[in-house]
Amino acid sequence: MWTRPSRRRFVAGLLAASASTGSGAGAQPAGRVRGFDHVALPMQNTAAMVAFYRALGFQISENANAVSVYVGDATMINFHRPARWQDPAYTLRAPAARPPCGDLCFVWDGTAPALAATLQRAGAKPIEGPVDRPGGRKATGSSVYVRDPDGNLLEFMIYS
């Protein structure tokens, strides 16, 4: 016959069960990686890069050391100006990185014809695609590849 346990025994049992399974408040990690805030790449052709990314519809912010390209609401690409990445005193970068060294994939939130028109307006010629590729969303998307003025590889993926 089942008897109702006391509150103290019930709580003790819950604590013991959560400790043995690795769940519960005591086993929760203090934090986790939620995504990218920004990526930084060296840039060679500043004026051409700014014009290109503006033509693609990105919001741009410039300062003495970098050109920031905002991707969505919470991510940016910092393109370091030549004087910055060539300065031997500047060590907060990948020391061997030289333009072109980027391979970036953007999610396109629109149709394939709209993407083609945007790329044409920016002067970007497709070098491959559309082609199906597995993406970071754990799904397959249709990708088109182009190069920016510095030669970085850009992929534009459309998920259906």
State how far the Cα of 131 lies from the Cα of 55, in Å rounded to an integer: 24
Task: Check residue 92 and give its pLDDT.
Answer: 93
Check: pTM over 0.75? Answer yes or no: yes
Contact 136, 123 (CB under 8 A): no
Q: Residues near 96 by Cβ (< 8 Å), separated by ≥ 6?
A: none
* Residue 20 within a domain: no
**b/e map 18-44, b = 16+ CB within 10 Å:** eeeeeeeeeeeeeeeeeeeeeebbbbb
Which domain range does residue 49 map to? 35-159
149 burial via Cβ count (<10 Å: 0-12, 13-18, 19+): buried
- Is the bond preceding 5 in cis, omega lying within 30 degrees of 0? no
Alpha helical stretches, state H, 22-87: 46-55, 82-85
Amino acid at 155: E
* Residue 80 within a domain: yes
* Residue 1 within a domain: no
**DSSP string spanning 83-117?**
HHHT-TT--SS-TT--SS--EEEEE--S-HHHHHH
* Residue 153 within a domain: yes
β partners of residue 128: 145
* Residue 18 within a domain: no
β partners of residue 131: 143
* Residue 11 within a domain: no
Q: How many separate domains does the chain show? A: 1
Residue 18 or 6, more confident:
6
Residue 122 or 28, more confident:
122
Task: Check residue 62 and give its pLDDT.
Answer: 97
Percent of the chain whose pLDDT exceeds 90: 77
78-117: pLDDT as tens digits: 999 999 999 999 999 999 999 999 999 999 999 999 999 9
- Look up the CATH number of the domain holding residue 79: 3.10.180.10
Task: Check residue 25 and give its pLDDT.
Answer: 56
Contact 131, 101 (CB under 8 A): no
* Residue 60 within a domain: yes
* Residue 14 within a domain: no
Task: Check residue 26 and give its pLDDT.
Answer: 60
DSSP 8-class letter at 126: P
